Amino acid sequence: MSDADRPLFRFDNSYARELPGLSVPWQPAKVPGPSTLFFNRSLAEELGLDAAVLDGERGAAIFSGNEVPDGATPVAQAYAGHQFGGFSPSLGDGRALLLGEVIDRQGQRRDIAFKGSGATPFSRGGDGKAAVGPVLREVIIGEAMHALGIPTTRALAAVATGAPVFREDSLPGAVLTRVAASHLRVGTFQYFAARGQVELLRLLAEHAIQRHDPGLAGDPDRHLAFLRAVAERQAALVARWMHVGFIHGVMNTDNMTISGETIDYGPCAFMEAHGP
């Protein structure tokens, strides 16, 4: 196989393969004029990707959603969420898609996902798009958190779409490509628990244990031990936020990862004055 014929991503999509019914297969929306705003070469190399190819027109086509790379199985994931004191039993990826999973150079499985790639069955009437400003905020704060040693999802790329996004005003649109240890959330478990779908819940738990706490596999009390491990990761993460004066503006259960990584830099801030 020549270099030109080699796949750009070596996807191994365990979520889509092992958990049928926990997501909806979906395709990203096409955009008229993709152009790269940001490309994370060091992260690309960490993931074993060809940075030279992806930091150009081909990358803009892929990271805008115009070209779905070979081996990808894009899906919109289902989850619920306790939001601002109330429970929303059906949320899901309203403007995001899990593109697939790759094994990085350290042998760790990592999700590659889009944010702002168009409406999905979970959009609840929204357009599924994102504006340049919030996308770049996620790039900047995510990389800052990473540099501070705080577990976080990270931006692989940000691509302008060449199309407007209509909010209070017309804004330039963009798509973020986000990398995470996984996009499994507390709300993913709530989605199936709220429906009494015990077997799907059990399947999800076994998948999550194998991915994030493989040392617990086979333990007769593994589900309780897994719950404790997740709680400890969340507590440690919030303590790290507090140590640097970071304020997460949407810390709902749909934005709390099982892996203990910071996710969703929507409304958020650092305190202007902070005494550690």
**How many beta carbons lie within 10 A of that of residue 157, not counting itself?**
27
Total residues belonging to the chain: 276
8 A C-beta contact, residue 51 and residue 36: no
Nearest alpha carbon to residue 227 among 211, 207, 210, 205: 205
Helix H or strand E encompassing 36: strand 35-39
- 266 vs 108: CA distance, rounded Å: 27
- 182 vs 113: CA distance, rounded Å: 10
- 144 vs 57: CA distance, rounded Å: 27
Q: What's the distance, Cα to Cα, between the start and end of the chain in Å?
A: 55
As to burial, measured by CB atoms within 10 angstroms (0-12 exposed, 13-18 middle, 19+ buried), residue 220 is exposed
221: region left, alpha or beta (phi > 0 left; psi from -120 to 50 alpha)? alpha
Point out the residues that are catalytic: 254
As to burial, measured by CB atoms within 10 angstroms (0-12 exposed, 13-18 middle, 19+ buried), residue 193 is middle
- The CA-CA-CA angle for residues 168, 171, 175, to 5°, reads 120
